Amino acid sequence: MDLARTEVRPRQGFRNAAARLGLVAVPVAFFAVFFAYPVAAIVTRGLKADGTWQLGRITDVLAQPDIRHVLWFTTWQALVSTALTLLVALPGAYVFARFDFPGKQVLRAVVTVPFVLPTVVVGTAFLALVGRGGLTDDLWGVRLDTTVWAILLAHVFFNYAVVVRTVGGLWAQLDPRQEEAARMLGASRPAAWRTVTLPALAPAVAAAALMVFLFTFTSFGVVQILGGPTFSTLEVEIYRQTSEIFDLSTAAVLTLIQFAAVGAVLALHAWTVRRRESALRLVDASVTARRPRGAGEWGLLAGVVGSVAVLLVLPLAVLVQRSLGAPGFGYYRALTRDDGGVFLVAPIEAVGNSLEYALAATAIAVLVGGLAATALTRRDAGRFVRGFDALLMLPLGVSAVTVGFGFLISLDEPPLDLRQSWILVPLAQALVGVPFVVRTMLPVLRAVDHRLREAAAVLGASPWRVWREVDLPMVRRALLIAAGFAFAVSLGEFGATVFIARPDNPTLPVAVARLLGRAGDLNYGQAMALSTILMVVCAVALLVLERLRTDRTGEF
């Protein structure tokens, strides 16, 4: 009997090691080939000449006044956007966490729609509000440019749900009796909130703030459409240096700067997440929500609903109204005609292209992200596997423009000559979808009792059968939600796709940007119509997600 055990254990250990290696191999290979390699290729080409690294180019680029202005505006607008988002969204997080009221699920869906909308649609919606070129006015002798305000408010619009979901999700599980105990001991309501609730919420608030800062620091579509030639973030400047000026060395330096900044933000985010996962007294979220009491709480609810209507619903309503500006749905009918100018095909074909690309990207993202999430939740995961968790977030912060252009200059030789292949666009889109798949599936996979897996393995089940019989039934809903998020973000990916989408196969975001780049009311109206179509497709995907969502899988 003992001899049999000694023979079984090495075989079981070998199978576990092989399974662990197999789970990690596909995600590592995917990120190495389609992320690290293209980024390294463009940086190397920009900073290396005649086999010698031109590191002095870094100081030369940073010495340029226009580049310093871009760095300043990028940092400034990200900080202000983050502060405004927290200011506006924290009351909403409280309302969703503590109040139960009619229409709460519908309002939750409305709040979440902007996050899954493509940045091109968000930029177009606010462009519909301020008009082309923005508006300027004098207020008490100070000249204000509403374009900057449009950029800031568009970032609040886009990131409102990040704060509500991240902070509100934890707030709903904090035991309210802790704050009530402080008040019974003589503390005022503000003092009890400041000394009891705020410290418990601090890690979640910090995590949400860092995520908002990351998204706004790397903002591209919103600033590209609203900022025009006057305002540029690092991402927009990388695009301009790459596609318009063809200065790869400057683009490479800016990429390294953005990479360093994103790395620092992700390190802080990982630290705050660890703090958030520390021991807290949590309760079931369903028992903490109650109907508002008194005029003050009903007034707070009304204020949150009003702010959602003005900041989130109004821009989209104006977008739809502008798309209907021509009689008889003229702008929509114009999408079916090929004008021979902006596109080689009728603009409406971008709808089918986007759906096909997004479905392929979703399949890739679910496969890669699912394997990565499974590897990260194994008890025998090594230090390398755990460190891979942070690397999975890099595509959300590293320049998508760099990745897209890197695809063109690196994937151009056999066996990876993919420049003429349709799969190039889904591969780029999947890079953005994988982090959402991992973040959605990890909490559920970690909640699966490892003893169930061990029992199945002891009974002779292979690793694949253990996954199929134990994990899959428990994570099926999270898997569907992850696929929905991957589909939505793939549908709206713009930074990389703008480089690699072929002229005869444009995606919806690329088509919108091309139409906005041409003068004329017809092109402008068609851009509004295409943006409305894209918004409706994303909203439908989001409503499906809301029907599948659970409290344990609803955060991102």
Return the minimum-mean-pLDDT range out of 61-75, 177-191, 216-230, 235-249: 177-191
Confidence of residue 547 (pLDDT cuts 50, 70, 90): low
Confidence of residue 361 (pLDDT cuts 50, 70, 90): very high
Instruction: Give the residue from 450, 485, 456 showing the smallest Cα distance to 468.
Output: 456
Residue 353, pLDDT > 80, answer yes
> With the CA atoms of 387, 389, 392 and 398 taken in that order, what torsion angle do they form, in degrees rounded to the nearest 10?
-60
The Cα–Cα gap between 74 and 235 comes to: 9
Residue 267, pLDDT > 50, answer yes
pLDDT at 555: 45
Residue 79, pLDDT > 90, answer yes
69: phi then psi, degrees, rounded to nearest 5: -65, -40
Mean pLDDT of 7-17: 50
pLDDT digits (tens, 9 = 90+) for 523-534: 888 888 888 888
- Bridge partners of 52, per DSSP, are 49
CB count in 10 Å sphere of residue 432: 22
pLDDT at 449: 63
How far does Cα 220 stand from its chain's mean position?
12
pLDDT digits (tens, 9 = 90+) for 332-344: 988 888 765 666 7
pLDDT at 510: 86
Confidence of residue 50 (pLDDT cuts 50, 70, 90): low
Q: What is the DSSP string of 15-72?
A: HHHHHHHHHHHHHHHHHIIIIIHHHHHHHHHHHEETTEE-THHHHHHHT-HHHHHHHH
The answer to whether the beta carbons of residues 207 and 267 sit under 8 Å apart is no
The Cα–Cα gap between 89 and 87 comes to: 6
pLDDT digits (tens, 9 = 90+) for 194-234: 777 777 777 778 878 888 898 898 888 888 888 777 788 88
Return the minimum-mean-pLDDT range out of 5-9, 166-170, 186-190, 313-317: 5-9
Instruction: Give the residue from 496, 537, 494 showing the smallest Cα distance to 516.
Output: 494
Residue 242, pLDDT > 90, answer no
Of residues 212 and 275, more confidently modeled: 212
pLDDT at 357: 92
pLDDT digits (tens, 9 = 90+) for 420-473: 788 889 999 999 888 888 877 777 777 666 676 667 777 776 666 776 777 667
Confidence of residue 550 (pLDDT cuts 50, 70, 90): very low
Residue 142, pLDDT > 50, answer no
Residue 274, pLDDT > 70, answer no
pTM of the model: 0.76
Mean pLDDT of 250-255: 84
Residue 34, pLDDT > 80, answer yes
Residue 5, pLDDT > 60, answer no
pLDDT digits (tens, 9 = 90+) for 396-410: 767 788 888 888 888
